[in-house]
Amino acid sequence: MQPWKFANRFMPHMDQGRGKARLTPTTVGLRLSPVKRVLVNVAVLFLLVISFAPTPAQAQQEPENSITVVGEGQVSATPDLASVNLGVEVLNTDLAQAILDVESRMNLIAEALTGIGVDAADIQIIGVDVTPQDLVDTRTGALTGQLVYRVSNTQQVIIRDVSQARTIISEAVRAGANIIRDFAFGMTDLRALETSARTTAITSAYERAGELAAGLGLIVGEPLNVEEIEITRGIITEPSSTLLAGAGQLVITVQIQVTFRARIGVQ
């Protein structure tokens, strides 16, 4: 039996005008057997799979050569400013009197500092504290049932001339300060130092990549990925120096990780 056949290919049509019959083409239909229909579907599916399959270049792409290094940049500079927290703390069983004593001494400290050139805007109150405590009899160690108040006031002082740090702190103590803490050096333009350290780290990364490439017979290409790993800030002082003398160097260190493209060849 034929696997397919054409049906209704021609149909008789009567020409009424002349009384003759002629054949007129009509719709042509293609009939497939079940087996052929399955084969056709499989062939269509195969063509679709082939059209979406990756090309040999895509399927067998070689991994890209690269070199990853860590670059480090470090810069140092002499601090051009400092800060210190100065304050007053008193104990008194009379809370109102304790507060008055602290305020009076803080005003004297501010007057003393402005008198030697510290800008009033560089003196800022950062904390006031009132803590009630049970008064203890010093002879027996027993509680007396009375309260004693610990009152404190602390202000931060910015020192624009680090060579005057010792003088400023000494004047504050003479005016009544009995709290001195958190002395620290700083820089007016810290961002410029960080930028310089970062630029040095980039140069270091290129140099290290070049050294590795030269030993491996490679050529360093463009950077593919850059990541800043860490940035640290610290003060390095000489063993004989003191913070109050204004000695020391502010050191900023930046580390970056860079991945470079690498090509085989000789420069």
Question: Both tokens of residue 126?
Answer: 């950062």
Residue that is written with structure tokens 């239909």 in the block = 29
What pLDDT digit, counting tens, does each position of 161-180 carry? 999 999 999 999 999 999 99
Using the CB atoms, write b or e for 102-140: b if 16+ within 10 Å: beebbebbbebbeeeebeeebbeeeeeeeeeeeeeeeee
| Banded model confidence at residue 20, pLDDT cuts 50, 70, 90 | very low
What pLDDT digit, counting tens, does each position of 178-228 carry? 999 999 888 999 999 999 999 999 999 999 999 999 999 999 999 999 999
Top CATH class, 81-186 = alpha beta
Cβ neighbours, 10 Å, residue 142: 8
Tell me what pLDDT residue 5 has.
44
Q: Where are the domains of the chain?
A: 66-78+190-264, 81-186
Which residues, listed in sequence order, are joined to residue 233 by a DSSP beta bridge? 252
Residue 258 burial (CB < 10 Å; 0-12/13-18/19+)? buried
Under 8 Å between Cβ of 156 and 87: no
Tell me what pLDDT residue 11 has.
45
What pLDDT digit, counting tens, does each position of 117-141 carry? 999 999 999 999 999 998 888 888 8
Out of 3.30.110.170, 3.40.50.150, 3.30.70.1280, 3.40.47.10, the CATH code matching 66-78+190-264 is: 3.30.110.170
Closest of 50, 51, 84, 67 to residue 260, by C-alpha: 67
| Banded model confidence at residue 145, pLDDT cuts 50, 70, 90 | confident
